[in-house]
Amino acid sequence: MSRLVVVSNRVTLPQKSGDAPAGGLAVALQAALEERGGIWMGWSGKSSGSKEPQPLDMRTHGNITYALTDLTKTDVEEYYHGFANRVLWPICHYRLDLAEYGRKEMAGYFRVNRFFAQRLAPLIKEDDVIWVHDYHLIPLAAELREMGLKNKIGFFLHIPWPPADVLFAMPVHEQIMRGLSQYDLVGFQTEHDLDNFGGGLVREGIGERLEGNKFSTYGRTFKGGYYSIAIETEEFARFAKKAYNNAIVRKARQSVEGRDLIIGVDRLDYSKGITQRIDAFDKFITLNPAYQNKVTYLQITPKSRSEVPEYEQMQRTVAEQAGRVNGSVGTVDWVPIRYVNRSVARPVLAGLYRLARIGLVTPLRDGMNLVAKEYLAAQDPEDPGVLVLSRFAGAARELTGALLVNPYDIEGTAHAIARGLTMSLDERKQRWEKMMEHLKVYDINRWCDDFLKDLASA
Ligand code: ADP
């Protein structure tokens, strides 16, 4: 089996004892790397003022070598905060209104990709298979090819891919598509994203979609596919069962005694639909006054990307909105919304999911959404809760037993909450079992194996 080289913006280093457990993706990639031997390269997270690149920080653990590169402050500003998070992220989440194109940032993005390639190329052996992750590194294969590398190179996009009309608003869309064409396999989360990609190529007149999800463009033929990312289902389920008796979860349980818990867990991001969700909860209480003092909505939302102004603004908006709803529908002995603005440890999170009667996952657009899968895996098989899920999350294409909602339809989401709270045990079990069976088969290891198998044969 060929050696595997994984490249991603950030690298998850091996866990030290006492560290929080790594997420499913990191564990699966580490397992694949350990089995085949390989390298995981990415940004160290450090930035310096010096223009002179520091040597790569190389650390070997077992069969894996971690290769970390520093970036300059300008690189981080332009490549990461600038183009990746202020152009590609909003565009791929269909938010043309939030994209800010600056030539300096666009140039910085391509420059840092070249820099990554220059640092990576000397580490590559002839038959290594390279797997590049996510929107930060789309042009990496093109840079490596220019340096003469002929290796198999695959790319997986963790976020959605937009339809042609949205994509074409981005001034460098053609370079981005040309970049993708240099891979041997381009993987998306869903068939819908893959179709958007194919549609864009054909609409722009730069490519053709051939039989078997092959594409031909810029003189190359390459494969496309879709691979829905997942979690370590069985392990998470075991973890949640144990976590139910964790001291913090026990306290939370006592504090909601006699009420149903509704849970929302998301990074603070405009794609997650948090303000619409709070409006829907407000509407639910207004339409169903019998639920006053009978439910608690817990929204756990750590801050993210505070350097980007939209995110900073959102922090204020969500906090004010939660306060406003608590003020208007709350009573002297009932705070309807508990808004927690920080990250919680994974075992606690698992236990809280299990405690919640409803998992409220209503992004306006999401590549997959792992919270939906974690919520399901954490449920008690004898008394599972109900997943209320946005039809615009990639996960909605698999989790058909959820109550699917359009998050822009505030009343529709409010009705789904009410329906979830009154659903019979039989129906809850039936829906949950069907989804759980799927998640047990299509877990994170299956995702990883399917992609690598297709890359090997691409
Ligand atoms: P995204 O990758 O866009 O943030 P996902 O739902 O796919 O969205 O993945 C989010 C991951 O982050 C999940 O594994 C979830 O458990 C974790 N997470 C989100 N919010 C928190 C939180 N408050 N505390 C701990 N982990 C969190």
Write phi, then psi, for 274 (nearest 5 degrees).
-70, -40
Determine how β-strand 207-210 pairs with β-strand 386-390.
unpaired
Share of the chain above pLDDT 90, in %: 87
Distance CA 415, CA 417 (A): 5
Q: How far is the CA of 301 from the centre of ligand 1 (A)?
A: 9
pTM score, two decimals? 0.96
Report whether 267 contacts 314 (CB < 8 A): no
User: In what order do the strands lie in the sheet containing 386-390?
Assistant: 337-340, 295-300, 260-265, 358-361, 386-390, 403-405
**The tokens of 378 are what?**
């954490």
Task: Please determine whether the domains at 4-230+444-457 and 233-440 fall in the same fold group of CATH.
Answer: yes
Mean of pLDDT values over 176-202:
96
Q: How far is the CA of 302 from the centre of ligand 1 (A)?
A: 9
**CB of 314 sitting under 6 A from ligand 1:** no
The answer to whether residue 104 scores a pLDDT higher than 70 is yes
Distance CA 399, CA 388 (A): 10
Atom number, ligand 1, closest to the C-alpha of residue 366: 3
Q: Which residues are within 8 A (CB) of 165 and not within 5 positions of it... i.e. 6 or more apart?
A: none
Write phi, then psi, for 361 (nearest 5 degrees).
-125, 95
Distance CA 427, CA 405 (A): 18
Active-site residues, by number, are 158, 366
Mean of pLDDT values over 226-244:
93
- Report, in this order, helix, strand and coil percent for the chain, each rounded to 5: 50, 20, 30
Q: Report helix, strand or coil for 11.
A: coil
Domains of the chain, residue spans: 4-230+444-457, 233-440
The answer to whether residue 174 scores a pLDDT higher than 90 is yes
- Specify the pLDDT at position 1: 84
Q: How far is the CA of 266 from the centre of ligand 1 (A)?
A: 6
- Nearest C-alpha neighbor of 183 from the set 455, 448, 457: 455
The answer to whether residue 23 scores a pLDDT higher than 90 is no
Structure-token match 């391509």, residue found: 110
Residue 18 — pLDDT band, cuts 50, 70, 90?
Answer: low
Alpha-carbon separation of residue 394 from 404, 406, 407 (angstroms): 12, 13, 14
Among protein residues, the one whose CA lies closest to atom 16 of ligand 1: 371
Mean of pLDDT values over 380-388:
98
The answer to whether residue 173 scores a pLDDT higher than 80 is yes
pLDDT by residue (tens digit) across 59-76?
A: 999 999 999 999 999 999
Burial of residue 425, with CB atoms counted within 10 A of its CB: 0-12 exposed, 13-18 middle, 19 or more buried:
exposed
Distance CA 209, CA 224 (A): 10
- Specify the pLDDT at position 19: 67
Distance CA 321, CA 127 (A): 55
The answer to whether residue 306 scores a pLDDT higher than 80 is no
- 233-440: CATH topology: Rossmann fold (3.40.50)
**CB of 23 sitting under 6 A from ligand 1:** yes
**CB of 216 sitting under 6 A from ligand 1:** no
User: In what order do the strands lie in the sheet containing 57-61?
Assistant: 57-61, 64-72, 38-48, 4-10, 129-133, 152-156, 185-188, 220-226, 214-217, 207-210
Among protein residues, the one whose CA lies closest to atom 9 of ligand 1: 370
The answer to whether residue 327 scores a pLDDT higher than 80 is yes
The answer to whether residue 20 scores a pLDDT higher than 70 is no
Instruction: Tally Cβ neighbours within 10 Å of residue 37.
Output: 15
Q: Fill in the DSSP letter of residue 84.
A: I
CATH number for 4-230+444-457 (one of 3.40.50.2000, 1.20.1070.10, 3.50.50.60, 3.40.718.10): it is: 3.40.50.2000
Alpha-carbon separation of residue 271 from 255, 274, 365 (angstroms): 30, 8, 6
Q: How far is the CA of 341 from the centre of ligand 1 (A)?
A: 13
Alpha-carbon separation of residue 31 from 14, 25, 62, 265, 446 (angstroms): 11, 10, 11, 27, 12
Q: How far is the CA of 70 from the centre of ligand 1 (A)?
A: 26
**CB of 341 sitting under 6 A from ligand 1:** no
**CB of 348 sitting under 6 A from ligand 1:** no
Determine how β-strand 129-133 pairs with β-strand 152-156.
parallel
- Nearest C-alpha neighbor of 201 from the set 173, 182, 226: 173
pLDDT by residue (tens digit) across 202-216?
A: 988 889 999 999 999
Q: How far apart are the first and last CA of the chain?
A: 15
Q: Fill in the DSSP letter of residue 136.
A: G
Amino acid identity for residue 157 in this structure: L
